[in-house]
Amino acid sequence: MTIASTIQQLCFLTLSAVVVLGALGVVLLPNIVYSAFLLGGVFLGMAGLYLLLNASFVAAAQILVYVGAVNVLILFAIMLVNKKENLAAIPGLLLRRLLSGGVCAGLFVLLLRVAFTTHWALPGPLPVGEEATIRIGEHLFSDYLLPFELASVLLLMAMIGAIVLARRDVYSSDVITGEPVDQGLIEKTRTPLLINPSGSAGAANAPSLLETTP
Amino acid sequence: MSADSQATAQAAAEAVTITLGSTIPLQAYLAVAALLFCTGVWGLINSRNAVRVLMSIELMLNAVNLNLMAFSDFLDGQLIRGQVFAIFVITVAAAEAAVGLAILLSLYRNRETVDMERFNLLRW
């Protein structure tokens, strides 16, 4: 980025504050809807930091994928599972939080020590700046071609896996004829499979829900 | 004449770029990424809502991405391999979020809760 150094430092401080405070809000706020929106703010701040690091294409990808897809997916999941439930108290919860906070603070100190004591090979080569998108395209279609193609296979597998995992298992048959019917069109009442293993699970009570199908 | 002045302007612009590239040290980006990662780890351990656990994982992945981008810009400015890695990390994170939320929906349908303390079927 060719902007003045003061503005650059100001942008860095602002974006870092947005990212860090947003992350703390994501972790600490009791209302999870606020957490999800703050997570979107964190993603936007990260995109700004990427812009400061001469990476406009990755910043655009970050906004499109994270803010546009992942955050919306998380919001949908929150809406689907948003039931008021009183969490049962755990003994020693505060002690557990303090202990894990100590461990995380120690990890942070360790990472800072590594970052500040390592002799980085600075200054490195001159950044390519606005040509970064061209370089990324060259990388993706020459020496990173196999991971690029594997990523597409991975996305396909994730899509199929998400559908298989999230769809409801319906095994119903027609009320009158007893033939199996089109399984995709039937809504089933939620059967808690694991809570009540002796009860009817899935197939037994499904025909009673079915409208008369010719 | 004009070509000469253009060349000097280009050289000046390059000098400005060189000086501007180092106004923010690499360590500042690493510190922000470390703080973000530790926040994500703390949330991953302490969250009782399963959706918040997934959000913490996203925070950690973003911290790793920031590290990759900082190294790519400061140490590997010509072959920006860190940016390519960051794109792959974003891809894997999207796939992970989709599968993770599908698993979460399936769990919620079976257990009627999103409390992590009650997902203890495999506990011995």
A43 has pLDDT over 60: yes
pLDDT digits (tens, 9 = 90+) for A173-190: 666 776 766 555 555 544
pLDDT digits (tens, 9 = 90+) for A133-142: 999 999 999 9
Is residue A170 very low, low, confident or very high in pLDDT (cuts 50, 70, 90)? low
Cβ <8 Å between B105 and A165: yes
> What value does the mean pLDDT take over residues B48-75?
93
Q: What percent of chain B has pLDDT over 90?
A: 54
Q: Report the complex ipTM.
A: 0.81
Is residue B7 very low, low, confident or very high in pLDDT (cuts 50, 70, 90)? low
Nearest to B67 by CA among B42, B86, B84: B86
Nearest CA distance, B3 vs chain A (angstrom):
23
Cβ <8 Å between A81 and B105: yes
Instruction: Flag the least confident range among A158-162, A200-204, B1-5, B30-34.
Output: A200-204
Assigned token pair, A183:
């399984």
Exposure string for B59-84, b = 16+ CB within 10 A, e = fewer? bbbbbbbbbbbbbbbbebbeebbbbb
Top-confidence residue, A12 or B113: A12
pLDDT for residue A19: 95
For an interface test with B, which of A8, A12, A81 has the most B Cβ atoms less than 10 Å from its Cβ? A81
Is residue B2 very low, low, confident or very high in pLDDT (cuts 50, 70, 90)? low
Bin A129: left if φ > 0, else alpha if -120 < ψ < 50, else beta: left
pLDDT digits (tens, 9 = 90+) for B66-83: 999 999 999 988 888 999
For B117, which of A66, A90, A107 is closest by C-beta distance? A90
Q: Can you state the angle between helices A5-28 and B26-46, rounded to 10 degrees?
A: 10
SS3 A67: helix
pLDDT for residue A127: 82
> What value does the mean pLDDT take over residues A143-147?
94
The mean pLDDT value of chain A amounts to: 82
Q: Give yes or no for a contact between A180 and A206, defined as CB atoms under 8 angstroms apart.
A: no
Compare all CA atoms of chain B with the CA of A136 and give the residue at the minimum distance: B84
Nearest CA distance, A214 vs chain B (angstrom):
31
For A73, which of B27, B38, B97 is closest by C-beta distance? B97
Nearest to B90 by CA among A14, A54, A76, A50: A50
Instruction: Flag the least confident range among A126-140, B10-24, B30-44, B57-71.
Output: B10-24
CA B18 to CA B78: how far, in whole Å? 14
Nearest to A127 by CA among B69, B68, B74: B74
For A120, which of B18, B26, B52 is closest by C-beta distance? B26
Assigned token pair, A9:
């430092």
Nearest to A65 by CA among B82, B49, B73, B98: B98
Alpha helices in A118-199 (DSSP H): 132-141, 145-166
